[in-house]
Amino acid sequence: MNKNKQKVSRLRSWSSLGVLSLVLSLFLMACGDNTATTAPAATTAAASATTAAASATTAAASATTAAAGATTAAAGATTAAAGATTAAASATTAAAAVAPAKTGGILKVGVSQDAVGFDPHLTNATASYRVLENVYSGLLRFNEKLEITPDLATEYTQTDPTTYTFKLRKGVKFHNGREVKASDVTYSLNRIKDPATASPRAGQLAQIASMETPDEYTIVIKLKAPFSPLLAVLADVTTAIVPKETVDANGGKMDKVADGTGPFKLVEYVPNTRIRLEKNANYYVAGKPYLDGITFQPIPDDTARSTAVRTGAVDLIEYAPPKDLSILKQDSKITVTGDANNNVRFLALNTKVKPFDNVKVRQAIAWAIDRQQVLDAAVNGAGTPLVAGPFVPSFWPGLQQPIYKQDLAKAKALLAEAGYPNGFTAKLKNTPTYSFLGNAGIVVQEQLKAIGINFEIVSQEWSVFLKDYLSKDFEAAVSGYSGFVDPDRDLSGTYVTGKQNNFMSYSNPEFDKLIEQAASVSDQAQRAKLYQQAQTILATDAPMVFLYAANQYEAMQSYVKGYLHYPNGSHLSFREVSLNK
């Protein structure tokens, strides 16, 4: 099915099904994707129902409460049983007894790592994304099933394969009080594209040929060629809409300030201590958010983070440690959610540095590693070993057959062919800040000794590690990325020649061509075939040795209602959360 048409149809369904669609989506979120019906490419995707569905009306509030596993329905049933005289009356009372979400309170969140910059167009840190997605809005956004839904845009029309027209929601204000206009959209996207900004997202918008604003609430984007990932790009927080005057007032930088249109405002940042958000009283969705604010508290140590939520020092923790899941699940005061997550953990090899410039050395390392052992040590086995490309087989472009299985004899032979029969010594940069990376690095170091490779671990705090990694100041490094929805974002941005996030300096023209072709195709099956060919090349060249994709869990006090787990690790549902205590 034409993927652009799918997305038009999905937006359209929000308008046609209204609140009922939201209710079904929330209750069925764990059951996989819904199949969208085909709509003509020029169909206008009206999305005005999002405001209604996301408002504070009883229907939407009850849907959110039910989807988060709230006890409201049970309470309603109790009320009915106490006050009704017939079964029919009891059912009627139960249906009417669902209370709206409680408003007020500060949600205290224990996070695994502090944010590294607040500029949505520049930061590469997942910890920053989790904050920024609650402060900023884009034209579109993802729901908990990773379907594309409206945000600042109420509708869009795709009139041909290279022309998209977006209609802005009227009356939406930045946190500085000024209304958002079409010129803010073009400014923000042009800021990302501008080489002077040095945004790692610039490549994702490279296909934009021009942007026009026929009026204050209309944006017409024209592409150089068909680009299937466009809508997913525009739904990502990294293409958030920002006000020019705030950027200018801060010398062109937004790394220490934030001025968005989202449900919360950034009001305080104390490095490595707390990030404090407060409710945006002018948020365009009436009645949202329910919370008065959110406080993010960095708690890097896994055990300390688990203890914090069990003792009530925080209300919710992200990256609930897999080693503690059984204890957390047995605690009647705690609710645990989560499952598979779109992430990749890997060993990156700098192809500009000897001996990692030799493909046989990289392949030897790939054959020497037992990925299941790495997964077990890193996250107690809660995840999937990556024995081929960077995606799990269940993700639609993922490779279905393994490429690598530990074979020490083959690894030693490749090292000998590369001119290193006795192995070599090199430095491995590693960060214990994220235990799932630090522990993986230790196992990799130990396993490679079997083929004569001695990695000297250079242990670094996350912000130092990230700076070195982003500046390509490493020989080898254990790191990861997450949050992807469309495969183009990471296959293109991380591995295509010359792209800013290609920290390994990897280059293969055949790979580059396949990625470009896949982005120009609308049919998902055709895209998958091209991406699978590209991943086979990537795995064979091994600029990264893919290790595993980890499951991700959140644990929270039972009074935290409305939280939804996102497969990309997002905390977008904080706008739906209430503290019912």
> What pLDDT does residue 99 have?
60
Q: Name the pTM for this structure.
A: 0.79
**Gap between the Cα atoms of 348 and 505, Å rounded:** 10
> What pLDDT does residue 555 have?
98
**Residue ranges covered by each domain of the chain:** 3-53+136-249, 264-339+552-579, 343-550
> What pLDDT does residue 484 have?
85
Look at domain 343-550 and name its CATH class.
alpha beta
> What pLDDT does residue 355 have?
98
> What pLDDT does residue 294 have?
98
Taking residue 523's Cβ as centre, other Cβ atoms within 10 Å add up to 12
In the CATH hierarchy, which fold is given to the domain comprising 264-339+552-579?
D-Maltodextrin-Binding Protein; domain 2 (3.40.190)
> What pLDDT does residue 31 have?
35
Q: Residue 543, preceding bond cis, omega within 30 degrees? A: no
Identify which of 295, 290, 272, 271 has the alpha carbon closest to the alpha carbon of residue 280. Answer: 290
What are the distances in angstroms from CA 314 to CA 204, 300, 329, 503? 37, 14, 17, 36
Q: What is the mean pLDDT of each run of 10 residues along the chain (581 residues)?
A: 40 37 34 34 38 37 37 37 39 45 97 95 94 98 94 96 98 98 98 95 95 98 97 97 97 95 98 97 96 97 97 97 96 95 95 98 98 97 96 95 97 98 97 94 98 98 93 97 90 94 97 97 96 98 98 97 95 97 89
Q: What is the 3-state secondary structure (H, E, C) of 452-490?
A: CEEEEEEECCHHHHHHHHHCCCCCEEEEEEECCCCCHHH
> What pLDDT does residue 66 have?
36
Q: Using DSSP, state whether 527 is helix, strand or coil.
A: helix
In the CATH hierarchy, which fold is given to the domain comprising 3-53+136-249?
Dipeptide-binding Protein; domain 1 (3.90.76)
> What pLDDT does residue 316 have?
98
In sequence order, the β-bridge partners of residue 335 are: 556
